[in-house]
Amino acid sequence: MIGEAYRPALKRAALEAFEGQYDEHALAQKVDRATVEHQALTRIVSYRDE
């Protein structure tokens, strides 16, 4: 599930955070996908435990 959401989230992040300076492909080169997915899963699990 997280893997499927990565690309659309990256596209939204490129538009929102950088006002279109980067497209999703350029932004993808600047972040580590595995780290982002791991952090997302960690946040989901910690939120669920609250």
Domains of the chain, by residue range, sit at 2-48
Cβ atoms of residues 37 and 3 within 8 Å? yes
Q: Which residue has the higher pLDDT, 1 or 36?
A: 36
- Summarised one tens digit per residue, pLDDT across range 12-48 is 988 888 777 888 899 999 999 999 999 999 999 998 7
pLDDT at 17: 81
Distance CA 50, CA 47 (A): 5
Distance CA 11, CA 9 (A): 5
**Residue carrying structure tokens 């989230």:** 9
Q: How confident is the model at residue 50 (pLDDT cuts 50, 70, 90)?
A: low
Q: For residue 44, how far is the Cα from the chain centroid?
A: 13
Rg (CA), the chain: 12
